Structure formats: structure tokens, C-alpha cells
Chains A and B, each alone.
Chain A
């Protein structure tokens, strides 16, 4: 039966029966499956972490130090500690980190190497920032920001706000996708001959490649995405005070 060979086809077409077969409405099945695997790993990590937290030991110390350091960093950026923002940013960090590092496992591709995932993450971040900017500054001050120098700047202000979505999503996508592509290319290049493959395996070339593009790049990109979300949030929340601070320093 058509439409039920879900695991066979790469693209699902959920709106096929109401004649929406444009490429825009397709769903990439691999990304969906790997995203669910990422979420399952994140959920399964709760059990060992609870186990670690209830026992004294070096791991508990490391974990608590990590959490304290990241909370300190978010406090330094935002000016004051806020549990909501901290949890939001850390969940972004862990999702992107696990979602990018999962490509190390054979036969699994990174869900963050798909533009749809990164675009969704960027749109969620953007909406979160706008909602909190309205909540904190008030609707009037928020709307006034769009007409800031003069009212003609309205379309340009809107575009420069939307540009944050583009820059956030394409930065993550480009780095993870490019890294995965380089790794795949190098691994297939050595596959031909037995000599090359043995050499690459024994000399640590494969390990270096996967370690750099799989683990290191994943960590850096997750950190950058989370920190940028935090910084944009800080800028949006403190929009009014920004102009005053330099003059205070001068007097």
C-alpha cells in the first residue's frame, strides 16, 4: 500500500491526499528518526545523572562544577540569574550537542546537519526572545524600537531582526553539514585499497578526523548557538539601558 512504506522512502508526503505535493511540504524521514533517537538519548541520560548526583564522588564534583560555571556565565551575560532563561539555553545546548555528536555512531546522520532542524531551533529561539522582550519592556517600548531613528526605517529594522534567524540557523547547518561531508569524503577515499585503509586506521588519521569534526566541532557549535541565544536575549531585554551605560562611564 502506498504511503505506508515509511522506512523505505526518504521523503514523507503527509498532505498528498489534499494535493499538496510541493517540495515544501515534504518531510525528511531520516531527520525525524534521528531527532527521536537524540531525544531518547537525552531522556535516557537522566538515569545515570540522577545516580551520580546521589553518590559522592569525582563525577558528582565535575557535574556540579560544570553547572555552576555555566550558571555563572549566564549570570554574567544577562546581568542577573534567571532560571527560565538558563534552562532554555542549556536545553538548546544539550540538544545541539547530542544531535551533532550522534554522527560519530555508524549509520546515523546528524539531525543538526539538516537545514530544517536548525531553522526550527533558530525560529524557536527568535520567538522566545521576542516574547520575553515584550514581557519585560512592554508592548509600547518594544514597538517603538522598530521605528527607532525615524519611521522610514521600519522595513529595514524588521529585516535586520529576521537576519538573526538566518545567521543562527545557517551557521549551525553549514558547520555540521560541512564537517560531516569532509569526514564522509575522507572515509570513502581510503576505502578503495586495503593498504590505505589499514594505514588510516592504525595511524590514527580516522580518529583525528572524527574527533575534530564529530566531537570538537559539535561542542563548539552547541556552545556558540547557546551563547548567541543568551546574548541576543540580553540585548533584547536591556534594549533601553544600552544607550545610557557608556555615558555613565564617562562622567
Chain B
């Protein structure tokens, strides 16, 4: 039984660095291809385009650096021969939390960089502002990684106390919950950033309005991630007094409920905001009307994530007494 725990431990380390690098590789390749296409369109702006592509790939790489940090941390801190099967299952939670969010963020954070390359090809003299905007939106897309890092460290801090199956499943489902829950909102965030960067290429006079709209919209789009983080922290700080299969099932159910419930909400909320920013780029003077309609729509879309949060919290509260 001890050997299986060690196997899970090394699978975790491999996943954390391998899957993240896989996503980052795809993202960087797409960025480079877009930079070449943009240079074909506007060869005079090749210096600006290569600068944008360089900074875009550097920020895309954050996901792989995060995976490397976690892998080194786990290799240094944990003694593999002290791991039982239950501790091994709990470490798989770290793998899920980091690698699912890292994979999606790595692939997806190339979208604004791609569109920024084409925007610079259209407006070479506006390169400073486009690059600043791209850097800010890309660093907002990295927030799921920061949250995943919090979840991973809290799981690894509780790793020594795991003695029962339900304790192991509790940590596992906490990682699962955040991992699945960050997929949809990350795609939504990147979709919004992509359309906003394209809008800057279409109309550079809309820079101020797009800039302030971006902050509000991206904050609302990432609300489902925060719900997933709340459920994940609740799972981490709840106690599983009894060790039976029903408690384990309840924990997994809570994680799946909020995890799958946020995918649709995140993607569709991002699409709503990106449609709004498309209109704002074409017609900046309708900003007050469009922004309110978009925010109302996003609020109603987020209601489904709130219901998923409610169900998860109820499962955690009542699942403990089964």
C-alpha cells in the first residue's frame, strides 16, 4: 500500500510540471504564428510586433513557472517514504488544482497576445498603449493560478494529518473543485481580453472607455472562480468526523457541483462582456448604456453559479452528519 502512495506522489509532480508546460507550449506557438502573420500584413511594424510577441510569450509562461515552483516545493518538502495510500490520494488534489487551471490558462492566455499583434499591425503608432493594455489583461488572466497556488499550499500543509479515506477525499475534492471550476472563467476572461485587444486595433480613440470597462468586466467574469475558491476553502477547513463512503461521496459531489456549475457561467459571462466591448470599440459614446446592460446580463448569468455554490455549501454542511 505504501508503494501506491509514492506512485501518486510522483504522478502529481509529473502532472504539475508536464501538463502546465504542454499548455504553455501550445500558447507560445500560437502567439509566434500570429506574430509572423501580423508581420506579413505590415512589414514596417516588425520591431513593434516582435516586442509585443516577446512580452506576450513571457506572460504566457507564468503557468509553467508556477508548475515548476510547486514541483520543486514538493520535491524538497515532502519525504516520499512517509506517504501512505491516503496521503497519496490527497496529493493528487494538488495535481488537479494546479494542472487543470495551468493547462487552460497556458493555452488561453495567448489569445490577447495574438490579437494585440494584429492590432499593432493595424495601428503601429499606438503600440505603447496596446502593449500596456495587453500586459494588464494577460496578468488578470493569471489570477486562477494564484488561487490554485493558495489551494495547493493549504492542501500540502494539511497533508500530515491525513489518516482516513474521508480525510484524503476531502483534500482531493478540494483540489478537484478548484481545478474544474477555473476552466470556464479562464476561457471567459481570455475571450473578453481577445475581443478588447481587437477593439483597440479597430478604434484607438476608444482606449479610455475600453480600459475602464475591462477592469469591471473582468472582475465580474472571474466571480465564479471566487465561488469555486470559497467551496474549496470550506472543504479544506471542514472536518469529516466519520469515515464512511457516504461522506466521501458528499465531498466529491460538492466539488463536482460547483466545478461543473461554473463552466457555463464563466464562458457565457465572458462572451456577454466581449460582445459589449466589441460594440463599445465601434461606438464609444454609447458606453453608459451598453455597460449597464452588459453588467445586468452578467449578473443574471452569475446567478446560476450562485445556485451551484448554494448546493455545494448545503452538501458540505449536511454531508458531515451522514
Binding site for B on A (CB under 8 A): 73, 76-77, 79, 156, 159-160, 163, 166-167, 170-171, 174-175, 177-179, 181-182, 185-186, 212, 216, 220, 223-224, 227-228, 231, 234-235, 238, 242, 245-246, 249
Closest A-B pairs by Cβ, 10 of them: A178-B146, A167-B223, A224-B219, A170-B226, A163-B306, A178-B150, A227-B216, A160-B306, A160-B303, A167-B226
Contact between A181 and B230, CB atoms less than 8 A apart: no
Residues of chain B within 8 A (CB-CB) of A160 are 299, 302-303, 306
Residues of chain B within 8 A (CB-CB) of A77 are 288, 291
Contacting residue for B226 out of A171, A177, A212, CB 8 A: A171
Contacts A76-B288, A178-B149, A227-B212 known; A171 to B219 CB distance under 8 Å?
A: yes
Contact between A245 and B289, CB atoms less than 8 A apart: yes
Contact between A175 and B143, CB atoms less than 8 A apart: yes
Residues of chain B within 8 A (CB-CB) of A245 are 289, 292-293
Contact between B219 and A228, CB atoms less than 8 A apart: yes
Number of A-B contacts (CB under 8 A): 90
CB-defined A-B contacts under 8 Å, sample of 21: A76-B287, A160-B302, A167-B226, A170-B226, A170-B229, A170-B230, A174-B147, A174-B226, A179-B146, A182-B149, A186-B69, A212-B139, A220-B136, A220-B139, A223-B215, A227-B215, A227-B216, A231-B291, A245-B289, A246-B289, A246-B293
CA distance A235 to B147 in the complex (A): 29
Could you list 12 further interchain pairs (A-B, Cβ under 8 angstroms) beyond the known A77-B291, A174-B150? A73-B212, A160-B299, A163-B309, A166-B227, A175-B146, A178-B150, A182-B149, A185-B69, A220-B136, A224-B219, A227-B215, A242-B293
The smallest C-beta distance from B227 to any residue of chain A, in angstroms, reads: 7
Number of interface residues, chain B, beta carbon within 8 A = 37
Q: Is B295 an interface residue (CB 8 A)?
A: yes
CA distance A160 to B303 in the complex (A): 6
Contact between B140 and A220, CB atoms less than 8 A apart: yes
Q: Is B125 an interface residue (CB 8 A)?
A: no
Q: Is B55 an interface residue (CB 8 A)?
A: no
Residues of chain B within 8 A (CB-CB) of A185 are 69, 73
Interface centre among B229, B287, B292 (most CB of A within 10 A): B292
CA distance A246 to B309 in the complex (A): 31
Closest to A223 in B: B215
Residues of chain B within 8 A (CB-CB) of A179 are 146
Q: When each residue 130-162 of chain B gets 1 if its CB lies under 8 Å from chain A and 0 otherwise, what string results?
A: 000000100110010011011001000000000
Residues of chain A within 8 A (CB-CB) of B287 are 76
CA distance A166 to B302 in the complex (A): 13
Residues of chain B within 8 A (CB-CB) of A228 are 216, 219-220
Q: Is B310 an interface residue (CB 8 A)?
A: yes
The smallest C-beta distance from A174 to any residue of chain B, in angstroms, reads: 5
The smallest C-beta distance from A33 to any residue of chain B, in angstroms, reads: 24
Closest to B209 in A: A76
Contact between A238 and B292, CB atoms less than 8 A apart: yes
CA distance A216 to B287 in the complex (A): 26
Residues of chain B within 8 A (CB-CB) of A170 are 226, 229-230
Q: When each residue 290-322 of chain B gets 1 if its CB lies under 8 Å from chain A and 0 otherwise, what string results?
A: 011101100100110011011000000000000
